[in-house]
């Protein structure tokens, strides 16, 4: 009875081994060459065991039993080897990074430089990297924490070390922006030194926390205006920059949510009051002047800043005008003087021609029409008197 069960197990094992051998063989060579490759590989990886196999075959004058035992031993040894390899990698990663994500631990595989790689990969205990770290965490040899749905393992002190490194960097950048421009935005990027992609989600959480703490503080200490940029106004450039950073579905969802919710701006009213004095009284404010005062930022953010100025001060009633890549702001009282009589659009400068004023495009069309009419012999009334054509009217 016992012998029958053993025989069945043996047959199943042999089938399994043959399957694996074929898998390895296909990865290397085909046919006889492949089997030779596997044989050489097995002898190289398990020299003592292979010699014992030959010895057992010769001694027992039987082939099947020794081969079965050999197969079982090879499977067990390979599995143990793979486990040891993964365990070493997990702790090496932890030592190198200080913090390791569960995601990374789960994905650890036997290292590729061993000749039994495919064999080991097929036989490895699944998720062993995580198992090993979980065991160490249960014995309190390493720490473990869940953050924003993701689990991490860390060596003592490393969690706090990363958090405070990120906080310092974020606060330094925010202080700098606040001093220079009086504005910080949720869209800001921070230059956090990090070569480990599995820690990016964690770093983003720390950035968000530090940002929130900072905002809380300045809200208490200063006169701060907070304004949300509607999601629809987030420019393509902003969205593209965010998408470029995306590495996982989770990150994608975060960006998606942010797109829906919009981005918040925080503005120091005292600084804003100083800055608007530079702009006050102008008919046209060019984008580069806004950049100079408030820092190079997304157009949607600049529009919000100027809208806040309009809302706060009566004489700062400006409207954004966009002509493709050309953006500027026009004062409410200057709109008429800058509107083309033909296309009714507002331009930085228009040209007086006859009784009316036109933009460059419309004026060119008028002249072309005049030329065409003249060629047909129609009488054309061209304006040449004051102001002379081509003289721009500065306002």
Q: Which residues bind Zn ion (CB under 5 A)?
A: 340, 342-343, 359, 362
Phi/psi zone of residue 140: left (φ > 0), alpha (ψ -120 to 50 degrees), beta?
left
Q: Which is nearer to Zn ion, 45 or 359 (CB)?
A: 359
Q: How far is the CB of 366 from Zn ion (least distance, A)?
A: 10
Residue 282: exposure state from Cβ atoms within 10 A (0-12, 13-18, ≥19): middle
| Helix, coil or strand: residue 310 | helix
Nearest-5° Cα angle at 164, 162 to 169: 100
Asked if residues 183 and 266 have their Cβ atoms less than 8 Å apart, the reply is: yes
Q: Which is nearer to Zn ion, 71 or 346 (CB)?
A: 346
Q: Which is nearer to Zn ion, 235 or 364 (CB)?
A: 364
- Gyration radius from the chain CA atoms: 36
| Structure token pair of residue 204 | 């983003």
Asked if residues 343 and 362 have their Cβ atoms less than 8 Å apart, the reply is: yes
Give the number of other CB atoms < 10 A from CB of residue 159.
19
Buried/exposed code over 322-342 (b: 16+ C-beta within 10 A; e: otherwise)? eeeeebbbbbeebeeebbbbe
Q: How far is the CB of 284 from Zn ion (least distance, A)?
A: 17
**Nearest-angstrom CA–CA distance, 319 and 291:** 16
Q: Which is nearer to Zn ion, 173 or 339 (CB)?
A: 339
Q: How far is the CB of 369 from Zn ion (least distance, A)?
A: 14
DSSP structure class, residue 62: -
Q: Which is nearer to Zn ion, 6 or 343 (CB)?
A: 343
Q: How far is the CB of 344 from Zn ion (least distance, A)?
A: 8
Q: Which is nearer to Zn ion, 86 or 350 (CB)?
A: 350
Q: How far is the CB of 371 from Zn ion (least distance, A)?
A: 18
Q: How far is the CB of 347 from Zn ion (least distance, A)?
A: 7
Q: How far is the CB of 354 from Zn ion (least distance, A)?
A: 14
Q: Which is nearer to Zn ion, 296 or 368 (CB)?
A: 368
């Amino acid at each position: 009875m016992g012998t029958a069960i053993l025989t069945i197990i043996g047959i199943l094992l042999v089938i399994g081994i043959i399957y694996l051998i074929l898998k390895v063989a296909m990865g290397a060579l085909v046919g006889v060459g492949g089997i030779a490759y596997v044989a050489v590989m097995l002898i190289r990886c398990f020299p003592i065991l292979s010699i014992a196999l030959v010895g057992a075959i010769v001694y027992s004058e039987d082939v099947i039993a020794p081969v079965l035992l050999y197969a079982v031993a090879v499977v067990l040894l390979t599995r143990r080897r793979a486990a040891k390899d993964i365990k070493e990698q997990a702790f090496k990663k932890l030592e190198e990074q200080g913090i390791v994500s569960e995601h990374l631990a789960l994905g650890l595989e036997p290292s590729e430089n061993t000749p039994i790689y495919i064999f080991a990969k097929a036989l490895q205990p699944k998720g062993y990297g995580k198992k090993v770290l979980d065991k160490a965490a249960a014995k309190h040899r390493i720490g473990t924490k869940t953050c924003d749905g993701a689990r991490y393992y860390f060596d003592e002190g490393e969690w706090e070390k990363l958090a405070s490194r990120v906080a310092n960097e974020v606060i330094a950048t925010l202080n700098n922006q606040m001093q220079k421009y009086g504005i910080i935005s949720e869209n800001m990027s921070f230059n956090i030194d990090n070569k480990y992609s599995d820690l990016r989600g964690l770093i983003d959480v720390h950035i968000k926390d530090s940002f929130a703490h900072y905002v809380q503080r300045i809200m208490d200490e200063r006169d701060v205006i907070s304004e949300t940029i509607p999601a629809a106004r987030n420019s393509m450039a902003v969205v593209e920059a965010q998408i470029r950073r995306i590495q996982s579905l989770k990150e994608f969802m975060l960006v998606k949510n942010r797109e829906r919710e919009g981005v918040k701006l925080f503005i120091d009213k005292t600084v804003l009051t100083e800055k608007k004095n530079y702009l006050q009284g102008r008919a046209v404010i060019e984008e580069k002047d806004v950049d100079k005062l408030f820092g190079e930022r997304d157009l949607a953010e600049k529009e919000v800043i100027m809208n806040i100025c309009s809302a706060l001060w009566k004489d700062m009633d400006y409207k954004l005008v966009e002509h493709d890549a050309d953006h500027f702001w026009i004062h409410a009282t200057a709109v008429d003087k800058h509107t083309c009589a033909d296309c009714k659009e507002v331009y930085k400068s228009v040209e007086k021609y006859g009784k009316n004023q036109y933009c460059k495009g419309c004026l060119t069309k008028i002249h072309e029409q005049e030329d065409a009419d003249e060629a047909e012999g129609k009488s054309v009334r061209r304006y040449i008197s004051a102001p002379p054509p081509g003289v721009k009217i500065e306002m």
